[in-house]
A and B are shown apart, each in its own frame.
Chain A
Amino acid sequence: MKFQPRLTIIAALLGAAVAGCASWPSPEANQQLERARAAYRNAAADPAVQQHAQAELQSASGALHDAERMAQEGKPTELVQHNAYLAEQRAQTAMRTAEIRRSEARIAAAGEQRRQIQLEARERETIAARQREAAAREQARKAEEGRREAEARAALLENERLEKDRQASASAGLTAEVKRLESELADLRAKETSRGWVLTLKNELLFDTGGSELKPGAERALDNLVQFLEKHRDRSIAIEGFTDSTGSKEQNQLLSEKRAWAVKAALVKRGIASNRIDARGYGPAFPVASNDNAAGRQLNRRVEIVIDPS
């Protein structure tokens, strides 16, 4: 009986040796098997693993089946644990492999995105360049417009200045002309009145008493006037005959008219166009002096030559 325990141990050892491969999985092996199953379930549930890490998943599956089978067949617990370990590591590898594919897809998408951004940036740059160009053109156009406007203004001012100069010089010319005319008329002994320049010729110089024919010497009294009219062909004249109040009014009227016509005839005869000469008589009207005395009456008997202002 003393040797019995030892015999039991020997028997157990022998049993183990005889059984060889037949043993129950250890707790460690069972835990490993549990981890392998969980890892495999996770991996197999991921579609990306199914799609991108199929080979790795299959080798995990193979190892797991081996482990399960060995556990059922009572194969050494170390072999069960070993295959379960391989199954777990391969399932993890499959998961990470799928993860790598996802990252690769992200990188590819980012590359495409980068190209899109660059494309958009180029488009925006093109648009911005066009806008800058258009703005520059608009600016140049406005500058040109401003320049033209300034030129037009300057030209307008220059024209106004030239016009003023022209008017000034014309008016200066006119003034000179008037001055010359005035001096010439003064030579004629004409007087400036509200009707214009008036040259008064005394009847005694031109006509016999009661007559309407010019006296032979009267022509010379008209010389200066003829010269003036020849020089200033744009001028017209009015010849007006007047008498004193002696005698009948009708006779005096007729006499004054005849005398005015006689002067006109003399001027026409000397080459002055008749349409430049208006001749009429006023009789005793518009006396320039009193008819009560001889001196006054002498002044009233007269022919007035009125030179039109223009």
Chain B
Amino acid sequence: MTRITLIPLAALALAACATTDPPEREMGAARAMVSQARPIAEKDAPQELAEAQLKLGRAEAAMQRKHYEHARILAQQAEADAKLAWTVAENARMQRTANEVQDANRVLREEMERKSQ
């Protein structure tokens, strides 16, 4: 579900006002972030991860067509999406862990109260 819809005219317009160096740094950052997010986000942030992977794929395609400005934009968004995916997943994991630990404490306390009666 990409929010960016690049119409050909805009692509022309962009091409007209942007530098054309290949965005290697942005591509690398996006690939790294997607790789980092994937293991945990597959389970806990699948929608955000899918968004990031889709954009990274399109960025790779744009790179091959040498549409570097297009590739840079997609790579930056893929990185931001992957980072959000990782954060959402990590947050879900942390909340689960916190709840588990608190539940375990409750059980432990109940057990103690029962024992000392």
Contacts and interface: CB of A to CB of B under 8 A. Distances in A.
B1 interface: no
Given A16-B13, A111-B101, A121 B87 contact: no
Contacts of A113: 102, 105
Contact of A93 (B13, B77, B87, B112): B87
Given A86-B77, A114-B108, A124-B112, A76 B97 contact: no
Contact of A21 (B5, B17, B108): B17
Nearest to A106: B98
B89 to A, nearest CB: 9
Q: Is the interface of A mostly helix, strand, loop or mixed?
A: helix
Contact of A78 (B4, B16, B94): B4
A82 B112 contact: no
Nearest to B52: A89
A14 interface: no
Interface string A92-125: 1100110110011011001101100110110011
Nearest to B17: A21
A45 interface: no
A100 B17 contact: no
A81 interface: yes
A103 B100 CA distance: 11
A124 B111 CA distance: 12
A85 interface: yes
A107 B83 CA distance: 23
Nearest to A31: B3
A251 to B, nearest CB: 111
Interface size class of chain A, counting residues whose CB lies under 8 Å from the partner chain:
35 or more
Given A78-B73, A89-B77, A28 B3 contact: yes
Given A82-B76, A103-B98, A117-B112, A89 B81 contact: yes
A120 B83 CA distance: 42
Given A103-B95, A110-B102, A114-B108, A82 B10 contact: no
Interface string A1-34: 0000000000000001100110100001000100
B17 A107 contact: no
A77 interface: yes
Contacts of A21: 13, 16-17
Contacts of B16: 17, 20-21
Most buried by A among B14, B77, B98: B98
A259 interface: no
29 contacts: A16-B13, A17-B12, A20-B16, A28-B3, A28-B5, A75-B17, A76-B17, A78-B10, A81-B4, A82-B76, A86-B77, A89-B80, A92-B84, A93-B80, A96-B90, A99-B91, A99-B95, A100-B87, A100-B90, A100-B91, A103-B91, A103-B95, A107-B98, A113-B102, A113-B105, A114-B101, A114-B108, A121-B115, A124-B115
4 closest Cβ pairs, A-B complex: A103-B94, A21-B17, A89-B80, A110-B101
Given A100-B94, A114-B105, 12 more contacts: A20-B17, A21-B17, A23-B13, A76-B13, A81-B4, A82-B77, A85-B4, A86-B77, A107-B98, A111-B101, A114-B108, A120-B112
Interface of A: 16-17, 20-21, 23, 28, 32, 75-79, 81-82, 85-86, 89-90, 92-93, 96-97, 99-100, 103-104, 106-107, 110-111, 113-114, 117-118, 120-121, 124-125, 128
